[in-house]
């Protein structure tokens, strides 16, 4: 069997002033940035990863026509205007509203088609916003500091626990109701979007996982599972994406109400 094509978004952009090109290379220019760990996680799970460049919205449908699944990757903060918040928290990092709009449109169209979607960190936040949900702009204003959500340790090191709702799809896929995870974020889901429910939490109450309340795979985790694939329960998230993508590729696309 051919391996399903999994599109991986890249919502992090480096401006020319932030690049350090070699003298023999191209001149400074706007660049996409995406960690190879996403590619390796999809490949290890049995899929073929392809990077989705944030081009015009007219490219989204033709790209999805060729794909069987989507992984929404991590990246910068989502601009609060995208979820109806006019006041910007002073701790908000740099945002890219045009890139947000592209990624949200991509997630929404994939959702309408019934295509499986897995969101990682910012990607989890993006799929929540794509369904009309909102975000906490800065967890430091809400939490007691007992959990380090922006860890200093490297990505392959789990630093805190998450509790997963028994009976949730996330628990069934991972095979656990408690997991050790890494953490590189200062935002998280606030109000869940349409048809989504919170299914995982850190000890301080921050939402760490959301999923569709139906059988469709529209799921996000706040931690960076792509850096933890040596742990079977973390690799299982990508295996699920690939399995769902295989099923999607073998059926007529389902069209859901927007």
Q: Would you name the residues annotated as active-site residues?
A: 121, 224, 226
CB 119 within 8 A of CB 220: yes
Angle at 169 between CA 165 and CA 170, to 5 degrees: 65
Which residues 6+ apart lie within 8 Å of 172 measured at CB? Answer: none
Reduce the DSSP state of residue 135 to 3 states and report it.
strand
> CA 1, CA 240: separation in Å to the nearest integer?
17
Residue 77 DSSP label: B
> CA 48, CA 67: separation in Å to the nearest integer?
10
> CA 103, CA 139: separation in Å to the nearest integer?
23
Count other C-beta atoms under 10 Å from residue 104's C-beta: 19
Residue 130: HSE in the Cβ half-sphere, 13 Å Cα cutoff: 30
Which residues 6+ apart lie within 8 Å of 167 measured at CB? Answer: none
Reduce the DSSP state of residue 42 to 3 states and report it.
helix
- Where do we find the tokens 């109806």? 84
How far, CA to CA in Å, does 113 sit from each of 51, 83, 138?
20, 22, 33
């Amino acid at each position: 069997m051919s391996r399903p094509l999994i599109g991986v978004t890249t919502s992090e952009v480096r401006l020319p002033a932030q690049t350090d090109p070699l003298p023999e290379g191209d001149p400074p220019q706007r660049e996409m940035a995406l960690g190879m760990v996403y590619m390796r996680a999809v490949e290890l799970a049995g899929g073929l990863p392809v990077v989705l460049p944030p081009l015009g919205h007219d490219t989204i449908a033709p790209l999805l026509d060729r794909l069987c699944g989507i992984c929404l990757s991590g990246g910068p903060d989502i601009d609060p205007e995208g979820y109806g918040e006019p006041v910007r928290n002073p701790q908000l990092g740099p945002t890219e509203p045009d890139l947000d709009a592209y990624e949200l449109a991509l997630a929404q169209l994939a959702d309408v088609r019934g295509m499986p979607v897995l969101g990682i960190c910012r990607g989890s936040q993006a799929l929540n916003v794509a369904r009309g949900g909102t975000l906490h702009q800065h967890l430091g204003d809400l939490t007691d500091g007992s959990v380090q959500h922006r860890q200093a340790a490297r990505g392959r090191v789990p630093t805190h626990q998450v509790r997963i709702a028994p009976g949730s799809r996330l628990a069934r896929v991972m095979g656990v109701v408690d997991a050790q995870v890494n953490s590189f974020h200062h935002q998280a889901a606030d109000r869940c979007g349409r048809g989504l429910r919170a299914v995982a939490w850190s000890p301080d109450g921050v939402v760490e996982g959301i999923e569709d309340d139906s059988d469709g795979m529209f799921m996000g985790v706040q931690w960076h599972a792509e850096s933890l694939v040596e742990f079977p329960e973390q690799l299982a998230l990508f295996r699920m994406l690939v399995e769902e993508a295989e099923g999607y590729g073998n059926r007529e696309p389902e069209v859901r109400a927007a």
